[in-house]
Structure 1
């Protein structure tokens, strides 16, 4: 963040809105000092840190094979502590995501590496301009961002039923004017695009770590 965006640590300051101020210790998300509890199996490459309840983490965890829910904490004790903050595209969600990004900027995440922000559409409508501008600010604090479009079928589908993205995923060919496949049959385009780019960012960070070591 440039000097023009430096923020005071006192949330009670009148110089900036409270949601722009660096989070106090009581507002920070916890840092795991042991590996994140999860079912046995391959360790994830990407951790999904939900900024709030209902952010969409469970859905993304089901659709992104290399990802897992960090259970609202920073996975500092895991071998690959690469994190994306997940938030719904509404004011409260973006505010919560911004606090997490500022916590990372403050170095209070135990050495985790923030890959960026993933926002999940909250409605099928185009967001208000003020909301889009707020997202831009949070995305700048996150360093990178991706967006998951509104997918109405998710309202009537449970996570285990959803198609899964893997690093070798190939989207099915859809004929012109044909109805797009359901998310149970194919990963929705915005979900697949975000997955590929987030996974690529994590792989790059991992290569950087191994090179330094």
Structure 2
């Protein structure tokens, strides 16, 4: 169980919109007008947006306790978080959909207030990633501030979503052999820990901006 973190300098804004080709209107994501659900004791810190159906957004939002599932729609309501993680499957269609969402954000077409923190790519099968997918992935991930790669976990096939254990900040690293009902996988834990650190790093900037407005 491994996670690959492709680190870059924190990018709180998109690229220059003039340098990005936006997806055509029929390939753009809808906008969620309602606030994200609060299912735990605190409002969510991050919204997980599926770049396509079956991207694993619901599973990631379950695994990461500070996250909420925004489906395939941008979180457009400022009453809850607009810090976004884009989820996609590690396959050509998944990467194409992820590129659409990233280009949409860079082009300034996401709702006001939205910041993309990372792209999460989840394996579609056990074993090695096909060469064609690896090559295409290398061109897409340059659009993302950070990339997390989550391995294939067989046990997900036999578990309901509400059976899965949850990661909360400051949880200790899980042991090598686990059951998904007891703890999250190591790659999910590492990605969650890094994501929380990124959120903490940008919070002072956001609070400082609010105090000046």
Please state which band the TM-score falls in when normalised by the shorter chain: 0.7 to 0.9
Question: 2:151 — aligned with what?
Answer: 149
1:132 Cα deviation (Å)? 1.4
Give the unaligned 5+ runs of structure 2. 1-13
The more displaced of 89-98 and 33-42 is 33-42
Q: Calculate the aligned-residue CA RMSD, in Å.
A: 2.2
Report matched runs for 1:37-116 at 5 Å: 42-78=42-78, 79-110=80-111, 111-116=113-118
Secondary structure of the corresponding residue to residue 76 of structure 2 = coil
CA distance in 1 between counterparts of 2:151 and 2:140 reads 18
Number of equivalent positions:
194
Is 1:139 equivalent to 2:136 in the alignment?
no
Contact 1:36 1:71 in 2 (8 A): no
Please give the TM-score of this superposition, normalised by the length of structure 2. Answer: 0.83
Indicate whether 1:204 and 2:204 are aligned. Answer: no
SS in 1 for 2:206: helix
String of CA shifts for 1:144-186, please: whole Å, max 9, x gaps: 1001111111111111111110002112455xxxxx1111112
What is the deviation of 1:210? 0.6
- DSSP 3-state at the match of 2:148: strand
Are the equivalent residues in 1 in contact too, given 2:20–2:106 (CA < 8 A)? no
State the alpha-carbon separation in 2 of the partners of residues 58 and 89 from structure 1. Answer: 16
What residue is the counterpart of 1:164 in the other structure?
166
Deviation, structure 1 residue 99: 0.1
Q: Could you say which residue in structure 2 is the equivalent of 1:11?
A: none
Q: Distance in 2 between matches of 1:115 and 1:39?
A: 22
Which entry has the higher C-alpha Rg, 1 or 2? 1
Match among 123, 129, 132 for residue 130 of structure 1: 132
CA contact (8 A) 2:123 2:151 kept: yes
In structure 1, stretches of 5+ residues that fail to align are: 9-21, 175-179
Q: Supply the distance in 2 between the matched residues of 1:39 and 1:118 (Cα, whole angstroms).
A: 22
Q: Which whole-Å CA distance do the structure 2 matches of 1:195 and 1:24 have between them? A: 32
TM-score by length of 1: 0.83
Per chain length, whose mean CA-contact separation is higher, i.e. which structure has more relative contact order (CA < 8 Å, sep 6+)?
Answer: 2
Q: Distance in 2 between matches of 1:145 and 1:208?
A: 22
